[in-house]
Amino acid sequence: MGRHLRGGPWFSLSVLEEAMKHSTAPAVAPVIFIALVLAAIPAAFAQESEPLTLAQALQQGKTSLQLRLSYDNADVAGNPTDSATQLSLRTRLGYRTAEWSGFAMFLQFQDVSAAIRTYAPLDPEYDTINDPEVATVHQAYLEYAALPGSTVRVGRQEFRLENGRLLSESPWRQQGQAFDAASISSKSIDKLALIAAYANKMLNSSAQFVDFEHFVFIDADYTGLENQHLYAHAFWLDNIERTARIDTATFGIRASGDFEAFEYQGDYNIQQKYADAEGGGGDMISGFAAIKFGEFRAGPGYTKISGADGKDHAFDTLIGTTHQFQGFANVFAGTNGAGVVNGVVEYYVLVGGTHGGARWQVSHHILNQESQDQAYGDENDARIIYTYDENLTLSAEVGLYAASTDNESTLGTADKTVWTLRSDYRF
């Protein structure tokens, strides 16, 4: 029922050939050049022990399996559709070869199948749960890791930068997302982790392929301060389908710290006009601080995502995870793609803790429009995650969004409740 098999360009044309074919930005050429040079370097830095043959590397590889069972229910009040329910199983089967002269290969298949299917877009009589049933080649890449402290990957791969706000593998979704890309990561400099990548295609969390002229990013993570991370990042996104996304250049900094008695995190990002875009995208600022006492933590947070203003579009949170931001009910997931035209100003309070193998948190969110003097609404969220052992994790989560009667926008005007129960087994 509605099953598809998606593989992508790796069976007909390599990502580097495709990148060279489509790219119009001279600034990204050095990234591809470096990737090609490093990948072509012979195994001069390989270990002195006798290297494996290719046949041995294939035979001595490791298999991985992930099984995630998810029960989801979504109910939007005041519309003619019924509440949506989905019971789905995500299966990921992977194989990683042993190292061969510094090289290794990883292949991962994914299948999402549902036993309960009362949800849109499969059935328009119900509310929406956007986790399609589909089989995909989720990851498939060649890796070279014999260089000191550095790794080169070419192929379909996942990315997650920092807290995942602007770029992630979309871990909450059953489908997830991956990129056809060439990437270089390095920890060869003490206390500094670097990654740069060039992508020309994305398999998104709706199991659709999205082509780019280019998507380039650079990220630096400095850990020279005790218990802290200092980040700097830049993204250049040039789209082929102009109706789907906006071309942007995004630059930002982020800091986070985790100490015995308190924790903090904060970031600032600015978005500028790029490629064929008619305007920029404003800025985004966020911060959170919590006091720790025993096994508990509590503190306030703030986020501002600018709305559209004249030719400037709303700030685009690019290709990040949206689920853990602005509430679990996913009312504001449209910040990816600059879809929240009036922007968001959020104030929230979070209380959480640990007990044995369980982690829990509850939070209250006040959500207002950035470019209009109006409220969207409030949301109350709760989550508990129980780690049974190194292989099995159980979780439960609820998001309760209540729309404000003053909300005259086209977003968040109806109450929404989302429940999720999950078991995640992997080995």
| Other CB atoms within 10 Å distance of the CB of residue 154 | 22
Tell me, yes or no, whether 13 lies in a domain.
no
Q: Does 9 sit behind a cis peptide bond, omega within 30 degrees of 0 on the bond before it?
A: no
- What is the reported pLDDT for 241? 72
- What is the reported pLDDT for 245? 73
Cβ within 8 Å of residue 382, ≥6 positions away = 360, 361, 362, 363, 397, 398
Report the CATH number that the domain containing residue 284 is assigned in CATH.
2.40.160.100
**pTM score, whole prediction:** 0.87
Domain count, the chain: 1
What are the structure tokens assigned to 308, written together? 């559209």
- What is the reported pLDDT for 246? 87
The whole domain housing 318 covers 260-427
Residue 40: its H or E element: helix 29-40
Tell me, yes or no, whether 271 lies in a domain.
yes
Tell me, yes or no, whether 15 lies in a domain.
no
Tokens 């306030």 map to which residue?
300
- How far apart, in whole angstroms, are the C-alpha atoms of residue 137 and residue 159? 16
Tell me, yes or no, whether 34 lies in a domain.
no
Tell me, yes or no, whether 276 lies in a domain.
yes
- How far apart, in whole angstroms, are the C-alpha atoms of residue 3 and residue 15? 26
- What is the reported pLDDT for 164? 96
Torsion on CA atoms 66, 138, 166, 414, rounded to nearest 10: -70
Tell me, yes or no, whether 79 lies in a domain.
no
- How far apart, in whole angstroms, are the C-alpha atoms of residue 269 and residue 246? 16
What are the structure tokens assigned to 191, written together? 């206390």
Tell me, yes or no, whether 336 lies in a domain.
yes
| Other CB atoms within 10 Å distance of the CB of residue 426 | 13
Tell me, yes or no, whether 251 lies in a domain.
no
- Amino acid in position 328: F
Digits of tens for pLDDT over the chain (427 positions)?
445 445 444 433 344 334 333 433 434 444 444 444 444 444 344 445 678 888 999 999 999 999 999 999 999 999 999 999 999 999 999 999 999 999 999 999 999 999 999 999 999 999 999 999 999 999 999 999 999 999 999 999 999 999 999 999 999 999 999 999 999 999 999 999 999 999 999 999 999 999 999 999 999 999 999 999 999 999 999 998 755 578 999 999 999 999 999 999 999 999 999 999 989 999 999 999 999 999 999 999 999 999 999 989 999 999 999 998 999 999 999 999 999 999 999 999 999 999 999 999 999 999 999 999 999 999 999 999 999 999 999 999 999 999 999 999 999 999 999 999 999 999 9
Pairing of strands 5-6, 134-144: parallel
Spacing of C-alpha 262 from chain mean position: 26
At 161 the three-state DSSP class reads: coil
DSSP state of 75: E
- How far apart, in whole angstroms, are the C-alpha atoms of residue 79 and residue 86? 19
Alpha helices in 184-293 (DSSP H): none
| Other CB atoms within 10 Å distance of the CB of residue 43 | 15
What are the structure tokens assigned to 150, written together? 């550095």
- What is the reported pLDDT for 242? 59
- For 78: left if phi > 0, alpha if psi spans -120 to 50, otherwise beta; the answer is left
- What is the reported pLDDT for 46? 41
